[in-house]
Copies of this chain bind each other. A is one copy, B any other.
Amino acid sequence: MVKFAVLGCGVVGSGVVELFEKNKALIEKRCGQELEMGYILDLRDFPDRPYGNKVVKSLDVILADPDVKVVAECMGGTEPAFTFVKACLEAGKSVATSNKELVAAKGDILLKTAKEHNVNFFFEASVGGAIPIIRPLHKCLAANDFTAIAGILNGTTNFILNKMIKENMDFSTALALAQEKGYAEKDPTADVEGHDACRKICILSSLAFGKHVYPESVHTQGIREVELKDVERSSELGYTIKLIARVQRLENGKILPTVMPMVVEEDNLLSQVNGVYNAVMVRGDGISKAMFYGRGAGKFPTASAVLGDMIEEVQLDHTIPAQTWENVNSTDFIEDFAAFTAKRYFRVSGEDAAALNAVFGNLASISAQDGETVCITDKEMNADDVEAAAKALNGKGIQVLAQYPVLVS
């Protein structure tokens, strides 16, 4: 018999307890042994819930129980989560977390601590909710040299953009609806400004390339500026605007992680990922490409991922060597955003196709309407190229009204 504990009885924590109780027989069969939910750490009491008698107020109770082999951390935030998780690992208990903020900020330290104490620090639930992506990336695809990862990693912004795309809602109305439905927080900054997606691409980048990528190293741009007009006009050209978290390895060997709105061609599966769903496209030299799709958040989807980690821990009895990365105390392996190049979507004033051709060269597509023109460039442009083109167009009396890079994934 193995005991587990849950830190934090919020949405995810209670989901872990409830999904475990629902599927206990099945889970124990798959584990090969009996499991018991030993403790729930929370400052609140839950007298009305069936597991109310398992609530404890101090981590020490959990640390002191030798039967507790694995701990689910579902508190969120960096502290006290970091202190608690580190204490669990040091006490010889493996940890499964859903906390992307913690993994993005402290993953290197916690992985090292886990290794030193011959336990595991698992975080499948920290990226993509229910979607199996961490384990597939570092196990199933471990024979691949990765070249790029691109994903829709934030359900809230995808829901908002979807409402803009499918129902012509403007950004503020769609945000208000997301808040009403409980998809967006009262303070939606972390989602809307791209910070949440940034943490997740940090985790995937660290895992794929073996060096800790901190959020501060990632060019992060949210969706607050996305106008309904660009949603409509890019669709005319066969593209959809999505908030894309992405990392690519460049020819110089450096990696370039970014979070920003990009236009995605409609025959790319990522453009078809709607509502609160998430998806991650992975490129490697063996697989060419693979995509993983599912619910990116929510009580039971996230609980499913946490429990998956806990089940593996119960099946194992030693540290997994592959799931690790190092802190190289340098950001030299990360390319500056100035080096980012992509084909571009432009929306400009006027309907002067000849002027656009003169500045951009060949265009992949173009559409003029109501005194404005949208186009997709044929050539890849970096930020300097975009600025130079805007200046050149300006000289011809044309204003650049909006511009987005095109995703190739």
Contacts and interface: CB of A to CB of B under 8 A. Distances in A.
B311 A142 contact: yes
A271 to B, nearest CB: 9
B303 A295 contact: no
A123 to B, nearest CB: 12
A141 B304 contact: yes
Contacts of A67: none
Contact of A30 (B29, B316, B317, B322): B322
Contact of A322 (B32, B139, B210, B303): B32
A297 to B, nearest CB: 11
Nearest to A140: B132
Interface in A179-205: none
Contacts of A78: none
Contact of A308 (B139, B272, B301, B321): B139
Interface in A282-320: 284-295, 300-301, 303-305, 307-308, 311-312, 315-318, 320
A304 B143 contact: yes
Interface stretch (A17-25, A225-233, A370-378): A17-25
B23 A285 contact: yes
Contacts of A304: 141, 143-144, 284, 286-287
Contacts of A22: 145, 285
Interface string A254-266: 0000000000000
A124 interface: yes
Nearest to A145: B23
Contacts of A315: 320-322
B139 A286 contact: no
A269 interface: yes
A103 interface: no
Interface residues of A, number: 56
A52 interface: no
Interface string A122-136: 001000001110011
B321 A303 contact: no
Contact of A143 (B136, B289, B308): B308
A31 interface: yes
Contacts of A124: 140
A27 interface: yes
A26 interface: yes
Nearest to A278: B290
Contacts of A27: 142-143
12 contacts: A19-B285, A32-B322, A124-B140, A130-B287, A135-B136, A135-B140, A143-B303, A269-B293, A286-B300, A289-B295, A292-B292, A293-B293
Interface of A: 19-20, 22-23, 26-27, 29-32, 124, 130-132, 135-136, 138-145, 210, 269, 272-273, 284-295, 300-301, 303-305, 307-308, 311-312, 315-318, 320-322
A-B interface, 10 closest residue pairs, ranked by CB to CB distance from nearest: A286-B304, A32-B321, A290-B294, A143-B307, A132-B140, A132-B136, A130-B287, A291-B293, A140-B308, A142-B311
Given A136-B136, A142-B312, 10 more contacts: A23-B143, A30-B142, A132-B132, A132-B136, A135-B139, A142-B308, A143-B303, A286-B303, A292-B293, A315-B322
